[in-house]
Structure 1
Amino acid sequence: RLAEYELQRSEQNEPFRDHSYTFNQMFGVQSSIPAFLINQHKVTGLADAEAYIARLNALPAYLGGHVENARRAAENGIQPPAFVYDYVLSDARGLITGYPFSGKDDGSEDSPLMSDIRGKITALASNSTITPEQAADLTQRAADALKSAVGPAYQAAIEELARQQLNATADDGAWKLPDGAAYYETRLKAMTTTDLTAEQIHQIGLDEVARIQGEMAAIMQQVGFEGDLQDFFQFMRTDPRFYKPETPEGREEYLAEARAAIARMEADLPNLFNTFPKAGLIVQAVEPFREKSAGKAFYNRPAPDGSRPGIYYANLYRMADMPTYQLEALAFHEGIPGHHMQIAIAQELEGIPSFRKYGG
């Protein structure tokens, strides 16, 4: 029945297969490529390093296909709202800034991918997995691949996106797309698995806001806050006591507290659940190459065999966006007992088809 449902949903979505945005500020291909290479492509031996370089050389075909998809979509009236382009272009330009595109070849001014592969190759040489001569050869070939393949591919994407940006509008709703109303209705059914209308769902949202604001008003009385609800919101957004410093130390303190929160929850799991993920979970900050555009928190699934842990990413680009009163909720939602248990356990199950393991 689940397979039939997935097929029906795919058939319903078929007329709108081009309605999603290939390049976007959240999980666009411009940042998913380096995120995969940096975080998921392990280099534990010579073959892994060779595979990394092969992927760099193959990148023009992959990225070029996405550029063509975005071009075709734009010709059909489907492109992101104007504000998205600055974020996406910043990501793309940042990937080809630094050596070997510019800067010194001494490791001090490396581009994000050069820094990653150089570090991974250096680690292999340090533990004698490869010889110094092999390390030098791999490093040079990686630099060559970045300059001859990755750089031109990203530059072509930048040029196309800059061209599209000239025609972008501030309109940001599904209604602006071709057959936007039908597309929105299809997405509602897919995401809610109900037949509720947009108006009904909107009313549920309004009712929930009213309920939650009522609870907030009660909390304001409990803590003796003087002022109305908007004053309370302003206080919570701006009072320094709720934020870590905008410094490397402040960011590390936030990560340490997030790890501690997850550790506390992990210790309590046997009191709440009887099935646990085998794969580990780590907490880290969103990388500099995409922190300006990425969401405030998200999760990356582990390797199916558990060789790579799941990752809870916290975006610490602006500490003013990460109040400490949200720290536990984010850690529990993205990590344990949230997405990590949801996704890691699903893909570790035995005796079920792959679409059930990896479809969520």
Structure 2
Amino acid sequence: MNDADRARTLADRFWEELLEREPIFATAIGDDRYDDRLPDIGEEGRAQAENRNRASLEELATIDRESLDITLRTTMDILEAIATQTLSAIELRTDRLYVANHFVGPGVAIGDIASVQRTDTPEHLDRYEERLRAYPRYLEASAEIAREGVATGVVSPRTVVERAVAQVERIIAMPAEEAPALAAVAEDDAVARERIAGAWNDAVAPAFAGFLDVLREYLPHAAESNAVTDLPGGDAIYAVEIRSWTTLPLDPQEVHELGNERWDAIQAERFEVAARLGYDDPAKATEDRKASGKDTPASAENLVELVEDQVRRSWEIAPQWFGRLPKANCRVREVEAYRAADMAAAFYMPPTADGGRPGTYYINTHDLDGMALHQIAAVTYHEANPGHHFQIALEMEFDERPSLRRFGGLLAGASFAEGWGLYSERLADEMGLYLDDWERLGMLAGQAHRAARLITDTGLHAFGWSRKDAIEKLVAGGSPRGESETEVDRYIALPAQALAYMVGMVEIEDARRRAEEKAKKTEGTAFDLKGFHDRLLALGQLPLQALRRELG
């Protein structure tokens, strides 16, 4: 067997093991073989994951990767990233940080499952009910991890645990007919809804009540510091999280300095646009806009209509900027009420590979008064078209590639995906999608926000910043105070996740600049931006070092 055949065999085996270990992810991408299961997050599951990932890396080391074609070479890059990150997380037991957590804990997972689970056939409904009835075991495993965290001192910050407690309290207080699990079932399917409500009442709700007791016992032991580096082994944990999210071995000081550099450049742009609007200060411009009432959505329905129009317009103009468009549509949905208070202003869920479920752009209507309408357009172009929807849906269409190559990038670090989303906010200006300088100012506020993330995340976790310091930095960049408070709590809950955006965009901008310079040096050759976008998206979600290598 030659190296190419060995690489294909390794990729296929690794992928099957990954889906078995991550059944919710399998459901999300349309593989329904594990729809009745939940992840084994206990000791046995960790041991199996460690053994399998270590064996995969050992086999990878025997393959001559330079002899492989681009598809297999980049597939091996993804395998290496996932396996390395998994082993690092197991070694440092980073899972202890994320069970008492309002962003990624069990209270969020139940809604994530409902958003991707099929229930439109008797077989799929049976699997869903079985999965729900397995939730008590999943919560007990989560409780055991929480107890281990208390015993070792690797615990979540108090502000995170308090919000996790409140989240689970809201879940328990819901009547069965409004439970998050029912979001997976059609409104007009009374029989199916009764079955799922029964599973909720019999299994899920009582298990959450028990888990709430665990969280309340955990709360007095929560960390008083918001910095992950103040925990036992915290410096190593933060380094691993930076590598996992950005796919690069960056030092916190390096990231902090990049943030300051980008912040200064974006602030200059903000003042320039504000001047065109008749203001000396962009903060005063946005303050007046808010006071006028023009920057607050009239209703949730009006906000949804606005973003639906933005999605439509961006789709219509896209052929001028992209040679290949995704086959899957992108729909707009409101974030469900039970989790809206803890979720971001907007986020995206990918389609299934078979087209059975479209891409979904979720818009959060929980706090309309705290929203800034002039910033919504940039968010739409980041999350939907030409941002995450184009990048993820197109990657899923390359069905000739190994499955690990098509879908595994979603687990190999977020920097390319979030960098593309942030780049898309800038690209939308080139595409003529912003209707006026107010929307342009909103885009720049978002860009400043991502630069501030580099500063605040490293500030919080490596340089002794307080929560208040971080909030004030975001507000100075033009973000509403309420949104800034939620954002900072996210940085506290998910160390280094916020770094992926700007780090990834800088890499994409550098790649475009190199391509433009190459075209200039070739006499008579105009830079083909459409071709650049197609090539970049065809490469897909890779670790940034691999992306840099393949783009040249």
1:86 aligns with 2:162: yes
Deviation at 1:9, TM superposition (A): 4.1
- Aligned counterparts of 1:6 and 1:31: Cα–Cα separation in 2: 23
1:123 to 188, 194, 209: 188
Deviation at 1:314, TM superposition (A): 1.0
1:265 aligns with 2:293: no
Encode CA deviations 1:306-350: one digit per residue, 9 max, x unaligned: 101111111110013321111111111111111112222222212
Other-structure match for 2:332: 283
- Aligned counterparts of 1:220 and 1:145: Cα–Cα separation in 2: 55
Query: TM-score normalised to the size of structure 1?
Result: 0.83
Other-structure match for 1:316: 365
Q: Counterpart of 1:299 in 2: which secondary structure? A: strand
- Aligned counterparts of 2:268 and 2:166: Cα–Cα separation in 1: 41
2:112 to 16, 22, 35: 35
Query: TM-score normalised to the size of structure 2?
Result: 0.56
- Aligned counterparts of 1:4 and 1:284: Cα–Cα separation in 2: 35
- Aligned counterparts of 1:139 and 1:259: Cα–Cα separation in 2: 29
Greater share of helix: 2
- Aligned counterparts of 2:303 and 2:260: Cα–Cα separation in 1: 33
Encode CA deviations 1:15-54: one digit per residue, 9 max, x unaligned: 22325412422232212213322x2223323333333322
Deviation at 1:155, TM superposition (A): 0.6
Letter matched to residue 179 of structure 2: P
Check conservation: 1:87, 1:292, Cα contact below 8 A: no
Other-structure match for 2:179: 112
2:198 to 135, 141, 144: 144
1:178 aligns with 2:270: no
- Aligned counterparts of 1:284 and 1:149: Cα–Cα separation in 2: 28
Encode CA deviations 1:148-197: one digit per residue, 9 max, x unaligned: 21121101111111111122244212212221112222333333344442
Other-structure match for 2:278: 224
- Aligned counterparts of 2:300 and 2:193: Cα–Cα separation in 1: 31
Other-structure match for 1:242: 295
2:126 to 50, 71, 79: 50
Other-structure match for 1:189: 243
- Aligned counterparts of 1:189 and 1:304: Cα–Cα separation in 2: 28
- Aligned counterparts of 1:47 and 1:192: Cα–Cα separation in 2: 39
% of aligned pairs identical?
A: 26
- Structure scoring higher RCO (CA < 8 A, sep ≥ 6) equals 2
- Aligned counterparts of 2:194 and 2:243: Cα–Cα separation in 1: 51
Letter matched to residue 85 of structure 1: V
- Aligned counterparts of 1:170 and 1:332: Cα–Cα separation in 2: 38
- Aligned counterparts of 1:55 and 1:71: Cα–Cα separation in 2: 24
Deviation at 1:212, TM superposition (A): 1.3
1:352 aligns with 2:401: yes
Q: Counterpart of 2:278 in 1: which secondary structure? A: coil
Deviation at 1:86, TM superposition (A): 3.2
Check conservation: 1:97, 1:111, Cα contact below 8 A: no
Summarize the Cα distance change of 1:265–1:184 in structure 2 as closer, same or farther, 3 Å threshold: same
Deviation at 1:357, TM superposition (A): 2.1
Check conservation: 2:167, 2:339, Cα contact below 8 A: yes
Deviation at 1:293, TM superposition (A): 0.9
- Aligned counterparts of 1:273 and 1:344: Cα–Cα separation in 2: 14
Check conservation: 2:243, 2:249, Cα contact below 8 A: yes
Encode CA deviations 1:1-24: one digit per residue, 9 max, x unaligned: 413344344444442232541242
Summarize the Cα distance change of 1:340–1:237 in structure 2 as closer, same or farther, 3 Å threshold: same
1:75 to 120, 138, 151: 151
- Aligned counterparts of 2:306 and 2:396: Cα–Cα separation in 1: 28
Encode CA deviations 1:217-265: one digit per residue, 9 max, x unaligned: 2223222225x455445445554211113xxxx1111111111111111
Please identify, of 268-277 and 310-319, the stretch whose mean Cα deviation from structure 2 is larger: 268-277
RMSD: 2.5
- Aligned counterparts of 1:33 and 1:181: Cα–Cα separation in 2: 31
Q: Counterpart of 1:294 in 2: which secondary structure? A: coil
1:326 aligns with 2:380: no
- Aligned counterparts of 2:317 and 2:183: Cα–Cα separation in 1: 36
- Aligned counterparts of 1:23 and 1:55: Cα–Cα separation in 2: 21
Give the gaps of 5 or more residues in structure 2. Answer: 1-75, 411-552
1:336 to 385, 395, 401: 385
Task: Count residues in correspondence.
Answer: 332
Q: Counterpart of 1:123 in 2: which secondary structure? A: coil
- Aligned counterparts of 1:140 and 1:207: Cα–Cα separation in 2: 56
Check conservation: 1:299, 1:312, Cα contact below 8 A: yes
Check conservation: 1:74, 1:164, Cα contact below 8 A: yes
Q: Counterpart of 1:316 in 2: which secondary structure? A: coil
Check conservation: 1:281, 1:310, Cα contact below 8 A: yes
- Aligned counterparts of 1:262 and 1:36: Cα–Cα separation in 2: 25
Check conservation: 2:182, 2:197, Cα contact below 8 A: no
